[in-house]
Amino acid sequence: MPHLRHEKLHPTPVVGVDEAGRGPLAGPVVAAAVVLPARGVPRGIDDSKKLSTAERERLFGRLSDCAQIGIGIVEPDEIDRLNIYWATMKAMTLAVDRLCEGLGCPPGHVLVDGNRLPRWSYTATAIVSGDAHSLSIAAASIVAKHTRDRIMLAHAEAYPLYNWHSNKGYGCRHHLAALREHGPTPLHRRSFAPVAAAFAAMSPA
């Protein structure tokens, strides 16, 4: 289970950062930055992938009430322009920048899930599988995942053929079949191979 040992090594406020949506064929990549409260941290915070949708929704609500949160979103057209790695780095930077605007001060330290850090001026540490080891990063993973899921559910209303209400833009069998049959939407990432192939198939010979 994630814990606060990493947070206790650094000056406050300590920010946890994680992202959701690196792998999907459609939709944005979303990053969240979270500062947990000194007291009253919600119980049950864990890596978002280990939680049910209902558990993530409950914890998102609790975190929204008690934690400081910043969100960074990079849309598909920018993902295509930057590539998914740099788009993820930008989303993380936006999330921390917006959190700092709310805090009115820079972070004491930033804990980032993964093995690489964005090019920023913040003092930070990358932690591999950080959402399993840091409570702040795990909280950020919940916020990022829940936020992105809500975005994709809203888009699913406009594009029902792609089953985004279920797959959230990931390349499952139904999504890939719809992509081949109906072609890409404006929310698809053209730089991702299955989407590029669908665009190529639609182009006149």
Annotated binding-site members for a divalent metal cation: 18-19, 113
d(CA 97, CA 119): 13
Distance, in Å, from the CA atom of 199 to the CA atom of 178, rounded to the nearest integer, reads: 13
Pairing of strands 29-35, 14-20: antiparallel
CA atoms within 13 A on the CB side of 108: 10
Q: Cα-atom radius of gyration of the chain, to the nearest Å? A: 18
Given a contact cutoff of 8 angstroms between Cβ atoms, the answer to whether 88 and 29 are in contact is yes
Query: Helices (DSSP H) in 15-83: which residue ranges?
Result: 53-66, 76-82
Binding residues: 18-19, 113
Torsional sign, CA 194, 201, 162, 140: positive
Q: What are the beta bridge partners of residue 111?
A: 16, 125
Return the residue matching tokens 């609500």: 61
